[in-house]
Amino acid sequence: MAQKECCLAVDIGGTKIEVGLFAPSGEMLSQSKRFSVQFNNKKQADIYHLATATKDYLRKEKQVGWKLVGIGISVCGHVDEKGTAVVLAPNLGWRDYAAGEILDRIFHLPIHMEVDTAMAATAEMMWGAARNVKHFAWCTIGTGRGSYYVLDGKLFGGAHGFAGEIGHITIDERNGYPCGCGRRGCLETYITGPAIARAGQEAVKRGESDMMKEMAGESEITARVVIQAMQKKDPAACRIIDEKINMIAKVMGGLANTLDLEMIIIGGGVASAIPGFIEIIQERSRDYLMFEEAKKELRIAGETFSNAALYGAAANFFIKEGVLSNV
């Protein structure tokens, strides 16, 4: 492939799709564009709408001197080994859905598709904070929680590509809250944005915070309200955020102990909304590390990209086409 060849990256999330054109260097060649996922009457994400919106974008963003040679796709669901069909993406209503093959017929270009968590880790490995790092975890803590591992310089998917679901370790199946996975009391239900919001709502119900009550007004208390109240030193909000941060620090320490990691990259809405989050986790996770080596060397880093999965979709395309090497 010549140097002036580029690929289209497509990140298909549960509600939004983002597209952008990338060079093999990781440079985004044009402003990326976001549009909403449209659902058809079978409650499935409409791939034909996606194709039309993408074609529109390509027409407007034609790059002089660059040739589009293929499409890298990141999707919020599990993908088959060939990288052409989505095995399961609950948010999109796709099960055993040959999304890649349909897009191949429309665009007549090579397509490589992968789960978004793996793509985010790939972006960090190729172009981000984890360049030259052989053992790291990528985690996001936001509305939900996702993670993926790179071990020995390679993406670690496990037996079925499901590795990384640390958020679904059961903490309390009796008294815990229902989780998106259908079970109860998973770790995810304790540390994500909705968990912070719920803790805020409960504190207000117990009469512990007039400030959060006032800030929310008529609306429900959100994670953002709790974080803002924490910044204004509301005691209940401070306690909630402190507890959540401690729990996250324990999980990160445990993850590093389990896999002997060099780095953990943390992204997502919760991480970016709490000031100094990365530094706090770096500090507190030390208390839970077993080995002196890890205490000295483990690095906690923020994510490099505003949408790592989009960058990763491009990087994965170039790796699969032999343009980039990940070893």
Nearest CB to Zn ion, comparing residues 184 and 239: 184
C-alpha–C-alpha distance, residues 202 and 35, integer Å? 35
Q: Which is nearer to Zn ion, 179 or 252 (CB)?
A: 179
Q: Which residue, 18 or 188, is less far from Zn ion as judged by CB?
A: 188
Stretch that binds Zn ion, among 59-67, 143-151, 156-164, 176-184 (CB under 5 A): 176-184
- The answer to whether 171 contacts Zn ion (rule: CB under 5 A) is no
Question: In the set 49, 168, 224, 239, which binds Zn ion (CB under 5 A)?
Answer: 168
Please tell me whether residue 186 binds Zn ion under the rule CB under 5 A. Answer: yes
**CA 208 centroid distance within chain:** 33
Helix, strand or coil, per DSSP, at residue 142: coil
Residues 105-144 that bind Zn ion (CB under 5 A): none
Q: Could you give the CA distance from residue 223 to residue 225 in angstroms, rounded to a whole number?
A: 5
Q: What angle do CA 75, 80, 83 make, to 5 degrees?
A: 65
Task: Indicate if the alpha-carbon torsion angle 48, 54, 59, 60 is positive or negative.
Answer: positive
Q: Which residue has the tokens 């402190």?
A: 242
Least distance in Å: CB of 51 to Zn ion? 33
Query: Residue 139 forms beta bridges with which residues?
Result: 147, 266
Q: Which is nearer to Zn ion, 168 or 286 (CB)?
A: 168
For residues 72 and 185, which CB has a smaller minimum distance to Zn ion in the complex? Answer: 185
Among 51, 106, 181, 259, binds Zn ion (CB under 5 A): 181
Q: State the Cα–Cα distance between residues 327 and 148, nearest whole angstrom.
A: 18
Residue 300 host element (H or E): strand 299-302
Nearby residues of 270 by Cβ (< 8 Å), 6 or more positions away:
141, 142, 191, 192, 193, 196, 223, 244, 277
User: At 135, phi and psi to the nearest 5?
Assistant: -130, 105
Q: Shortest gap between Cβ of 142 and Zn ion (angstroms)?
A: 15
Name the token pair of 318: 């170039």
> Smaller CB distance to Zn ion: residue 147 or 209?
147
Q: How far is the CB of 135 from Zn ion (least distance, A)?
A: 26
Q: Are 246 and 284 in contact (CB under 8 A)?
A: yes
For residue 115, the cross-strand partners are 75
DSSP SS3 for 265: strand
Which one, 182 or 276, has the nearer CB to Zn ion? 182
Site string for Zn ion, 224-243 (x = CB under 5 A): --------------------
Among 99, 129, 179, 221, interactor with Zn ion by CB under 5 A: 179
C-alpha to C-alpha distance for 311 and 212, rounded to whole angstroms: 37
CB of 236 to Zn ion, least distance (A): 27
| Shortest distance in whole angstroms from residue 181 CB to Zn ion | 3
Name beta bridge partners: 301.
Answer: 265
Q: Which of these segments, 57-65, 173-181, 245-253, 318-326, binds Zn ion (CB under 5 A)? A: 173-181
3-state SS record for 256-290:
HHHHCCCEEEEECHHHHHCCCHHHHHHHHHHHHCC
When the beta carbons of 128 and 268 are compared against Zn ion, the nearer one is 268
- Cβ 251 to Zn ion, closest distance in Å? 14
Q: Is 166 in the site for Zn ion (CB under 5 A)?
A: no
The least distance separating Zn ion from the CB of residue 179, rounded to whole angstroms, comes to: 3
By rule CB under 5 A, what count of residues binds Zn ion?
A: 4
In the bound state with Zn ion, the residue whose beta carbon lies nearer, of 251 and 301, is 251
List contacts with Zn ion (CB under 5 A).
Answer: 168, 179, 181, 186
